[in-house]
Every structure is written in structure tokens, then in C-alpha cells.
Chain A
Amino acid sequence: AQSVAQPEDQVNVAEGNPLTVKCTYSVSGNPYLFWYVQYPNRGLQFLLKYITGDNLVKGSYGFEAEFNKSQTSFHLKKPSALVSDSALYFCAVRDIRPGSARQLTFGSGTQLTVLP
């Protein structure tokens, strides 16, 4: 069974400072990892994904994530946070092996608050 853990329910950071939102995963085979963002009263929006290749993945709005196979982690990062980055962030894993379930399994979410 695949799973994702987001150890922090809440992350606060000052505007202009770097931010990190943590995610660890568990999956059989190669992981396909995703980050989504949810603004209040909106659906989930895709930010970035890791499928294969370079361990540092760049995505929308200046976000990036680093895949670390040995630590089974996929932390979301941004060099300089904006107040508008305040939102709920979800890490997710999808198992796409033939015969696998194919659904996206989400973490519990991390509320990011960027303080002005």
C-alpha cells in the first residue's frame, strides 16, 4: 500500500524567508510524487511532480521540490516566500505500475502561513 506523511499541520514563515514543507512517502516500486496547493474555497491545483530524472523539480509560482530516494522524502521549497503563498499544501503519491490501483494518495495537508 502507498502512503504519504506530512509531519507538520502548520508552517509559519516570514515573507521573504525561505520556506520548506515536508513530505515523506512509502510506495512499492518507483514513486510518482506530486504537490498540490489549495486556496480557500477552491479545488486543488497542481504545483509540480517528480516522475524520473533530475531530483530537483521546478514547478509553478517559483516552487521547487527535492526528491531524496534514500530518505524517501519529497520536500517542497521556495527561496523567498510571499504572503500570497499562504494556502493548504498537499503531497501525494501515485503508483502507476501495470496492475496497480492508479489512484492518487494524499497526505494530510500542511497549512502554510506567510506573515507580512
Chain B
Amino acid sequence: DAGVIQSPRHEVTEMGQEVTLRCKPISGHDYLFWYRQTMMRGLELLIYFNNNVPIDDSGMPEDRFSAKMPNASFSTLKIQPSEPRDSAVYFCASSPVWRERSGTGELFFGEGSRLTVL
């Protein structure tokens, strides 16, 4: 398996523009997570999905952020309009469903999308 695939790896945009980050989770994984990493705040969970359904979006900073998972193999994180304070590395991660005797528990991360908003 190719692992979690994120695109783009780097994005530079101007304030006010729309940004769309994409993620392809590992096939067969039931959970998908979006994290944001900054120097100031470390790793923050933005939102996560279970079987394509958003479960907890309490970490999404504000209404400018939205995330979708139209099917089991694709998710997007959209920022509209973007602001300089959104500059960060955004990580997507996936994990299989937890099973009491055989669950692994760990998340598998993509390489991240580095966003710079000027």
C-alpha cells in the first residue's frame, strides 16, 4: 500500500484565496483525521471521520474551514477565505477500526501539506 497520500505538498497563496487540501487514506481504514501543526500550537486535531461521517469537528478553528469525505478513499479540507494565520502544515491520517483483540490503535500519517498564506 502506498500509505496516506496528501496533495499538494506545498501551497503558497495570497490572503483571501480559497485553498483545498486533499487526502487519500489507506484502503480499508475506517477513520480519517485532519491535524494542523504549527510552532506555536503544536499538533491540533481539526476534525475526524468514521466511515465517511464527520464525528467531531470541534477543533475546526472557524467557519472558514470545512472538511468533506464524499467516499472512503478521498477527503478534502477547504479554507475559504484563507488568512496568513492559517499558515501551517496540515496532516491527514487514517487508522483501521479498533477491535478489542486485534486492533492496532496507531494512526498512519501522510507527509503533510505545507500551506503558506501571504
- Measured CB to CB, the residues of A under 8 A from B are 32, 34, 36, 41-46, 49, 51, 90, 94, 96, 101-109
Contact A34 B43 (CB under 8 A): no
Contact A43 B56 (CB under 8 A): no
- Measured CB to CB, the residues of B under 8 A from A are 4, 31, 33, 42-43, 45, 48, 50, 55-56, 91, 93, 98, 103-112, 114
Q: Which residue of B lies closest to A35 (CB)?
A: B106
CB distance from B6 to the nearest CB of A (A): 8
- Docked Cα-Cα span, A103 to B43, in Å, equals 12
Contact A103 B50 (CB under 8 A): no
Decide: A96 near B103, CB < 8 A? Known: A102-B31, A106-B43. yes
- Docked Cα-Cα span, A87 to B23, in Å, equals 25
How many residue pairs between the two chains, A and B, have CB atoms under 8 Å in the bound complex?
52
CB distance from A3 to the nearest CB of B (A): 12
Q: A-B pairs with the 5 shortest C-beta distances? A: A43-B109, A106-B43, A44-B109, A43-B111, A46-B106
Determine the chain B residues whose CB is within 8 A of the CB of A90 once the complex forms. 43
Contact B106 A34 (CB under 8 A): yes
CB distance from A29 to the nearest CB of B (A): 13
Contact A94 B42 (CB under 8 A): no
- Docked Cα-Cα span, A90 to B42, in Å, equals 10
CB distance from B25 to the nearest CB of A (A): 13
Contact A43 B33 (CB under 8 A): no
- Docked Cα-Cα span, A49 to B104, in Å, equals 9
Determine the chain B residues whose CB is within 8 A of the CB of A108 once the complex forms. 42
Contact B91 A43 (CB under 8 A): yes
Determine the chain A residues whose CB is within 8 A of the CB of B103 once the complex forms. 96
Q: Which residue of B lies closest to A94 (CB)?
A: B105
CB distance from A94 to the nearest CB of B (A): 6
Q: Which of B31, B33, B103, B107 has the most CB of A within 10 A?
A: B107
Determine the chain B residues whose CB is within 8 A of the CB of A104 once the complex forms. 33, 45, 93, 107
Can you report 14 A-B residue pairs in the complex whose CB atoms are below 8 A from each other? A34-B105, A43-B91, A43-B110, A44-B91, A46-B106, A46-B107, A46-B108, A49-B105, A90-B43, A102-B31, A103-B33, A103-B48, A104-B33, A104-B93
